[in-house]
Structure formats: C-alpha cells, structure tokens
C-alpha cells in the first residue's frame, strides 16, 4: 500500500483507498479533519451523519459543560490546569473569556484533556462541599480530634473548613482527604455526644439530608429541614426509603438511626409508623 510522505510532522500512513497523489494529512486519533483525500472525505460525511443523528457525542460541548461545572464549583485556573495537564496560560485565557461572556472554541487537544481530566493537585477549590461534609460528620458524632487522626489533617485545619468564617476556597488535597473520610464514616456513629450536640446547636444538616451529587452543588439545599431553627425532619423520601431498606435487612431501630442519620431510635420508630413500615417485616 503506498504511503504518504511526511508533512510538518502530521502526515500519516494513507488510509485504505488513498493513493500517492492523494496524500493524507489526517492526524492520528482525530475525528474531524481538513484532509481532502477521498477516504477522509467519506469518513467526514459518515461522521457528520452520525453526529446529526445523535449517535456520536458532541465532545466539544461536553468539554465546555465540564469547564463551566468546574468554575461553578469554585475551581481556580491552577486547579483546572493541574487536573487536565493543560498549560496554565491556556486555562487562564479560557476562564478570562468566559468571564466576559465569551466561549473560546476548544481545539481537539484541549477537549481531550478536559474530558480525561483527573483530580486536581494544585490551585484551590470551593470549600463548600468540604464544609458540608465536615458538618454532616459532626452531626453523626465525629469529633475534630478523631477526624484529624483519620484524615491526617490538623485539628485547626478541619475546624477552619467546617466553620462559616467567610473563606471560600481550600486546597484540593484537603478537600480530597475530607471526601474520603466522609465516604468511610458518614454512615457510622462517631461516638461523641459533644460533637452531636454542637452540630444540632449550629443547625447543621446530617448526611441523610444530602445526595452525594448535591454536596458540591452551590445551588443545592439540604432536604428534610424545617424552617426556623433548622431541625432535621425525617420526611424526605430518600430517608424513608433508606429506613425501609435497613428495616427489611433486619437492623434494629438503634442501628437504623445511626446508619440513616436520624437523631434517635424513637425518631426511627415514629418514621416507621407514619410510613407503614411494620415492626415485623415478614408480617
């Protein structure tokens, strides 16, 4: 099979059907190309039809949406650059244009970097999700001292993240450590009555008041909280379904209270009676 000659480092082996006078300049791995050889023209036509039919995802739109989501969650340009591997100046230009209401058309390398991004290691993130997780863990009876041992973070750092002190950003490694602790501990009793009492005085929401997806969403609100002094109310369908599931699995009311984030076994019993969750699941 004839092959194309090198051209600016981008020419590759000609696809099936291309001849020597139809040199292919398609970049490896690219979906769209400006190459005018016959195989590439046919491939572009086929891809365009599939794209119009919704068979192929609009990767550029997906990348734009992901960047918008990161910015909404308080990621700084340095955080985005560390997660994507993109040059900081590139990310700063993208963010600058978005701040002006403009959207820079992302090239294929940037799109691929955004869609395959990992966790950030530098820069700063919104501390909202970390604060909500810390407050929920406190509601479950986890003291700052115990959480410090679990996360390896200083007590003062955890206290600073947990409090409503007006600070809006935190380091990605701090947020990651708190998220990991939340995943491991949010369904367990921390054993500190003082921590539980403190969380209730502060009207903080328990884990059961949040969906995992909503913890980092600045527009989300905890579910099952009454107005006025924000006391947790076991009225959310997620909590009710969780109690029903645990009860059917044979857990006692005390165990359910801990696992579902309810204040006491009596609260579990009231919830079961109100929602027809019978004492004997087999009955």
What span, in angstroms and rounded, lies between the C-alpha atoms of 137 and 208? Answer: 11
Contact between 187 and 259 under an 8 Å Cβ cutoff? The reply is: yes
169-170 and 125-126 as β-strands: parallel, antiparallel, unpaired? antiparallel
pLDDT mean by block of 10 residues, the chain; 283 residues: 40 46 70 80 79 66 90 92 94 91 82 90 92 93 94 94 84 94 89 87 85 84 60 60 85 80 75 77 42
Residue 2, helix vs strand vs coil: coil
Instruction: Give me the half-sphere count of Cα atoms (radius 13 Å) on the Cβ side of residue 226.
Output: 7
- What is the pLDDT, as a whole number, of residue 228? 45
Distance (Å, rounded) from C-alpha 82 to C-alpha 117? Answer: 9
Q: What is the DSSP string of 35-71?
A: --SHHHHHHHHHHHHHHHTT-S--HHHHHHHHHHHHH
Cβ proximity of 124 and 170 under 8 Å: yes
Is 17 strand, coil or helix? coil
Q: What number of other Cβ atoms are within 10 A of residue 211's Cβ?
A: 13
Read off the DSSP letter of residue 152. Answer: -
- The pTM for the full model equals 0.62
């Amino acid at each position: 099979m004839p092959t194309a000659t090198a051209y600016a480092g981008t020419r590759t082996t000609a696809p099936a059907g291309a001849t020597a006078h139809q040199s292919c300049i398609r970049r490896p791995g690219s979906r769209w190309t400006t190459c005018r050889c016959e195989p590439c023209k046919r491939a572009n036509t086929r891809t365009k039809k599939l794209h119009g039919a919704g068979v192929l995802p609009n990767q550029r739109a997906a990348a734009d949406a992901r960047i918008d989501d990161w910015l909404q969650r308080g990621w700084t340009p340095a955080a985005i650059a560390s997660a994507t591997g993109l040059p900081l100046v590139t990310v700063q230009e993208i963010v600058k244009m978005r701040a002006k209401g403009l959207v820079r058309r992302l090239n294929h390398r940037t799109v691929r970097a955004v869609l395959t991004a990992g966790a950030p290691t530098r820069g700063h993130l919104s501390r909202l999700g970390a604060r909500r997780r810390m407050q929920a863990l406190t509601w479950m009876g986890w003291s700052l001292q115990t959480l410090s041992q679990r996360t390896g973070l200083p007590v003062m750092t955890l206290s600073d993240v947990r409090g409503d002190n007006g600070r809006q950003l935190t380091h990605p490694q701090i947020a990651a450590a708190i998220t990991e602790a939340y995943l491991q501990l949010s369904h367990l009793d921390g054993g500190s009555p003082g921590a539980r009492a403190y969380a209730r005085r502060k009207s903080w929401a328990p884990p059961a008041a949040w969906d995992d997806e909503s913890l980092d969403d600045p527009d989300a609100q905890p579910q099952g909280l009454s107005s006025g002094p924000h006391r947790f109310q076991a009225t959310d369908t997620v909590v009710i379904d969780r109690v029903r599931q645990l009860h059917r699995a044979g857990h006692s009311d005390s165990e359910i209270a801990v696992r579902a984030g309810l204040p006491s076994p009596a609260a579990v019993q009231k919830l079961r009676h109100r929602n027809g969750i019978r004492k004997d699941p087999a009955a």
